[in-house]
């Protein structure tokens, strides 16, 4: 056989394999299973449901972020027995270092179980992506969820992500119904966000969070244990090779240039930027007074980053200002997912107790209208599914009633105005109106 014939045969075989791969991909992406892979597994044990606004599960459902000028990933959790005719509290979940929004899939059941057991009011949870790029893994730096040199990630959370949810789902507008959770560097962003926007958030929880990135002893040791009589302040982030933490018996070393430089910069002004965003220093800058913010601090006793010393310095200073953070210490914990998931249920229970103290109950109040696609059922069957069995209401009910069904992401439409507005009529719900338009 000639050389040209061999090459032609190889080309035909390669083309056939390519066509088979394309066909398999089309069958996969057009399958009837709309929740493949990890999302389906995460939703299976839940009484509520996680909605997909990412490109992680076969389709690109990402939303447009005006703050970052790109499409970004987002998960939205809807509680059990969700109804568009009711309004719900809002919880923002910010993921930690080396993770992305998919971290929420592994912890959603903690929130779901707390709601089912009545320890947490039925809430809508939003989990945005906080990576500086969508490369994934250790090579992709975390944004700290702040407006830094990596981009306006706090605006992405507050205006784009929360605005997207508020425009499509019934959210209670008062700060007493809003909480923000953060793990690791997400905890830094959670405190940064809550302190700056106390008019929007009343509760904040930081787990394994760096709450004082400028902590060091008087002798300049950032690895020193916390001592209020031996307290210094970091004055430089220029040394990029400085080791912040060691894992795997020292085989893996995390350095300043991997964590701080992408967000704060690598010049003399970097430490100034870090100080302006440092949660412990924000307490002074924004004059946080007792009663303005309910706080939870959970940290590990053996944190490789020495975030335990940072947390203890934050707690000490907060108490000196009259604040009373709820503190939980995992004495044998380290900076890993297992420790964070041991602390998270404690934080969720704390949030439920504090919300109830502010008058937030497990039941929710009705909104003015219902915009979710609905199915019509006989009145007798409908009355069996409604908790309110008031005889007068039943006697005056029409011959048919509507029972809302859980929406698919592509079926959502803009929601009506706030049923209980906290601002004068015509004013935006947040700092700017939501304008999410697919690009």
Residue 232 pLDDT exceeds 50: yes
pTM, rounded to two decimals: 0.76
Q: Where are the domains of the chain?
A: 37-357, 374-386+394-411
Q: What is the dihedral of CA 259, 263, 267, 268, to 10 degrees?
A: -100
Which of the four pLDDT bands, split at 50, 70 and 90, describes residue 7?
Answer: low
Instruction: Give per-residue pLDDT as tens, 377-433.
Output: 344 443 443 344 444 444 444 444 333 344 444 444 444 344 434 444 444 333 333
Tokens of 435: 């304008």
373 class by beta-carbon count within 10 Å (0-12 exposed, 13-18 middle, 19+ buried): middle
Let me know: does 170 contact 80? Beta carbons within 8 Å: no
Q: What is the pLDDT at residue 133?
A: 79
Topology at the third CATH level for domain 37-357: Rossmann fold (3.40.50)
High-pLDDT (> 70) share of the chain, %: 73
146 φ, ψ (degrees, to nearest 5): -125, 170
309 φ, ψ (degrees, to nearest 5): -65, -40
CB atoms within 10 A of CB 220: 12
Which of the four pLDDT bands, split at 50, 70 and 90, describes residue 36?
Answer: low
Instruction: Give per-residue pLDDT as tens, 167-182.
Output: 999 999 999 999 999 9
Let me know: does 296 contact 347? Beta carbons within 8 Å: yes
Cα 134 to Cα 100: distance, rounded to the nearest angstrom: 9
45-49, 54-58, 188-192, 336-340: least confident range: 54-58
Average pLDDT over residues 48-60: 93
Distances in Å between the Cα of 358 and the Cα atoms of 291, 355, 425 are 11, 5, 25
Q: What is the pLDDT at residue 139?
A: 63
Q: What is the pLDDT at residue 21?
A: 42
128-142, 241-255, 358-372, 416-430: least confident range: 416-430
Cα 195 to Cα 282: distance, rounded to the nearest angstrom: 7
191 φ, ψ (degrees, to nearest 5): -65, -40
Of these ranges, 94-98, 139-143, 384-388, the one predicted with the greatest mean pLDDT is: 94-98
Work out the mean pLDDT of the chain and round it to a whole number.
Answer: 81
Q: What is the pLDDT at residue 249?
A: 86
Let me know: does 265 contact 277? Beta carbons within 8 Å: no
Let me know: does 348 contact 325? Beta carbons within 8 Å: no
Let me know: does 415 contact 168? Beta carbons within 8 Å: yes
């Amino acid at each position: 056989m000639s050389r040209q014939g061999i090459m032609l045969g190889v080309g035909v075989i390669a083309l056939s394999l390519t066509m088979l791969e394309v066909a398999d991909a089309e069958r996969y992406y057009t399958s009837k299973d709309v929740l493949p892979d990890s999302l389906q597994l995460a939703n299976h044990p839940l009484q509520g449901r996680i909605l997909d606004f990412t490109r992680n599960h076969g389709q690109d459902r990402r939303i447009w972020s005006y703050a970052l000028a790109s499409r970004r990933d987002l998960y939205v959790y809807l509680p059990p027995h969700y109804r568009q005719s009711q309004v719900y509290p809002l919880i923002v979940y910010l993921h930690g270092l080396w993770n992305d929004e998919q971290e929420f899939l592994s912890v959603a059941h903690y929130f779901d179980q707390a709601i089912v057991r009545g320890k947490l009011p039925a809430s809508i949870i939003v989990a945005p992506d906080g990576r500086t790029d969508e490369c994934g893994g250790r090579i992709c730096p975390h944004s700290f969820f702040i407006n830094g040199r990596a981009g306006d990630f706090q605006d992405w959370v507050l205006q784009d992500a929360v605005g997207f949810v508020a425009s499509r789902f019934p959210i209670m507008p008062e700060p007493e119904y809003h909480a923000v959770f953060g793990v690791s560097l997400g905890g830094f962003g959670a405190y940064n966000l809550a302190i700056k926007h106390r008019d929007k958030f009343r509760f904040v929880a930081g787990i394994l969070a760096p709450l004082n990135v400028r902590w060091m002893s008087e002798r300049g040791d950032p690895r020193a244990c916390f001592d209020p009589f031996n307290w210094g302040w970091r004055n430089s982030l220029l040394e990029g090779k400085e080791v912040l933490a060691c894992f795997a018996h020292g085989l893996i070393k995390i350095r300043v240039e991997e964590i701080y430089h992408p967000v704060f910069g690598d010049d003399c002004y970097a430490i100034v930027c870090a100080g302006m965003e440092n949660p412990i220093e924000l307490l002074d800058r924004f004059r946080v007074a007792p009663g303005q913010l309910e706080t939870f601090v959970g940290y590990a006793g053996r944190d490789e980053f020495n975030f335990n010393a940072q947390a203890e310095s934050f707690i000490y200073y907060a108490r000196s200002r009259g604040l009373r953070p709820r503190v939980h210490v995992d004495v044998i914990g380290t900076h890993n997912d297992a420790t964070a998931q041991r602390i998270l249920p404690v934080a969720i229970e704390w949030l439920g107790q504090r919300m109830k103290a502010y008058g937030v109950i497990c039941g929710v109040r009705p909104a003015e209208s219902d915009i979710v696609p609905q199915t019509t059922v006989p009145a007798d069957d409908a009355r069996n599914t409604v908790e309110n069995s008031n005889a007068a209401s039943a006697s005056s009910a029409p011959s048919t009633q509507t029972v809302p069904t859980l929406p698919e992401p592509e079926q959502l439409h803009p929601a009506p105005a706030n049923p209980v507005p906290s601002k004068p009529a015509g004013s935006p719900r947040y700092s700017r109106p939501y304008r999410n338009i697919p690009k």
